[in-house]
A and B are shown apart, each in its own frame.
Chain A
Amino acid sequence: MIIYNYIFVGLLLIVAIGFALAPLVLVALVAPRKQSLAKQDIYECGVRTFGETWIRFRIQYYIYAIMFLVFDIETLFLYPWAVAYGGLGLFALVEMIIFLAVLFVGLAYAWSKGVLRWV
């Protein structure tokens, strides 16, 4: 009952990859192909590119990624709680209020420290 659903997901995966690759194959058969040095340069903004592209990026992105991780894992706790809520009663609500309060403190701390500030 539970597992066989994912057989369809496997089939759909194959169909989806096939659906994405089929026009590409068609392009390889139909479309013209005239390679040239200038054409296969990196376009970038129309001007010849210079310097290294794969450089280090600023820390801001990393900090947002950490914030995302915190809240994503927290969601992981919220989902089972939400599913089981009907059978748990008021005690679960109080517990979740405490859990969310702790998270709110974390968010407020990050906020006040300027982590959420895109500089």
Chain B
Amino acid sequence: MNFAAEWTLPVMWAQQQVELEWWTWLRWGLWLVLGFVGIFPGVVAYMVWAERKVAARFQDRIGPNRVGPLGLLQPIADAIKLITKENIVPRAADQVVHLMAPVLLLVSAFLVLAVVPFGFGTSQVDNPAHFNGFVPIDPPAGILYLIAVASVGALAIFLAGWSSRNKYSLLGAMRAVAQLVSYEVPQVLSIIPVILWTGSLSLVAIMNQQLDQGWFLWSPPGLLAFTLLMIANLAEVNRTPFDLPEAESEIIAGYHTEYSGMRFGLFFLAEYLSVFAVCALTTVVFLGGGSLPFVDYPRLFGTETNTAYLITNGLAIGITAAKILFLVFVMFWVRATLPRLRVDRLMNFAWKTMVPLSLANVLIAAIWYECVIRPGQPVQALGFSLPKPVLGWLITLPLVLALLWLVFWINRREWNAEVKAARTGLTRGGLPGIVR
């Protein structure tokens, strides 16, 4: 095979394989123009406003109220301000990388949202009880894709810190990468129970599975995995109490110290877009996307006629949005409540608490699958029969509690040993509570 043929082969193959109808292109175009350029940035801009309002209320203030009614025009005023600010790039900075970093971060936050279903879409042709999802694309390896593009963010943050030629930026970037890779492990591990129960990596399949059997949240391993995922999400988007990469009391503003004007604005936008994205992911994975407990409205209304389609998906989008915004509110709440962690405790918490918990939780999730989800009666051999969920709770709840107790007991024992050793002068450092 000659060189030219090798280059044209993939193109020819793609031309043969892909026969897209015009409405697929139309749907994608609408998603891109209305969703990704219109609604998502708009939602994110008002998330910033909401955070300022919520944080103000937590601190017994009023918050922005000058620009428009309730300060509702504040995001627009902020955008105008950012655009009219001078773009200052340090002489010594790496000019290309300095520009690339915020763009890359924003791109990574955008790409995550491509696979998250916000509604039910239409019924599947071969199985009318399941739905195709109101989503731009539904690749079979959706979660893998999502994790892959989300972890590009760590790279962007490091590029930002490195290119600034600023010691605090570099320090913040190093911290950020250490933190992001550490918390990526429990984040990725805590999604595994859901994949195990669904048997698919597609987010739409996960959504459908939860229509069949209820939210994945309602099981002991599910509750534990949800908690771990929420904590890891907080760390992955660098929010309090995990905002060490931009700890202003120690390292100025961390990796974005040298960024001003609109380039800083891009970082800001990307951060809030990631918050939105991880909350959307958590909603679909554990809170059942647009489904409600006890009311199976998507199958009640169906999607056959246009009216039914509009009602079902309108409800689904509303419910999904409510769940996402609730999780976002929880993140604001945590920020208003908790102080920043110290760097050694941050890393300890990731590796000594969250990783063991999420690893063992995978096995408990497998036990839950055997008890509840696998078809057939699991304990017929033992001569008694219980409802499957009751059996699952009876077996896995003690396991989860024992696991939690064990992990925290080991950590507490290590801590006590360190304190004791420090008191008797056996270690060179001081008390474990003091940064050496």
Contact = CB atoms under 8 A, between A and B. Distances in A.
Interface in A45-83: 45, 49, 51, 53-54, 57, 61, 64-65, 67-68, 71-72, 75, 78-79, 82-83
Interface string A26-41: 1110111110000111
Given A53-B165, A53-B166, A82-B195, A40 B91 contact: yes
A51 B362 CA distance: 48
Contacts of A28: 87
B17 A78 contact: no
Nearest to A45: B252
B293 interface: no
Contacts of A44: 166-168, 252, 257
Interface in A1-50: 2-9, 11-13, 15-17, 19-21, 23-24, 26-28, 30-34, 39-45, 49
Contacts of B430: none
B102 A57 contact: no
Interface of A: 2-9, 11-13, 15-17, 19-21, 23-24, 26-28, 30-34, 39-45, 49, 51, 53-54, 57, 61, 64-65, 67-68, 71-72, 75, 78-79, 82-87, 90, 93, 96-97, 100, 103-104, 107, 111, 116-119
Interface string B317-335: 0000000000000000000
Nearest to A67: B351
Contacts of A2: 139-140
A16 B85 contact: no
A19 B90 contact: no
A19 B110 contact: yes
Chain A, interface SS category: helix
Nearest to B365: A82
Contacts of A96: 362-363, 366
A68 B188 CA distance: 12
B231 interface: no
B192 interface: yes
Interface in B320-374: 343-344, 347-348, 351-352, 355-356, 359-360, 362-363, 366, 369-370, 373-374
Interface string B28-57: 100110001100010000000000000000
A54 B111 contact: no
A118 to B, nearest CB: 4
B14 interface: yes
A31 B87 contact: yes
5 contacts: A9-B114, A26-B262, A61-B177, A71-B185, A86-B199
A85 B107 contact: no
B192 A82 contact: yes
Interface in B141-185: 144-145, 162, 164-168, 170, 174, 177-178, 181-182, 184-185
Contact of A9 (B111, B170, B174): B111
A85 B88 contact: no
A57 to B, nearest CB: 6
A23 B110 contact: no
Given A85-B196, A118-B348, 8 more contacts: A5-B137, A16-B110, A31-B262, A54-B162, A61-B177, A75-B188, A75-B189, A119-B429
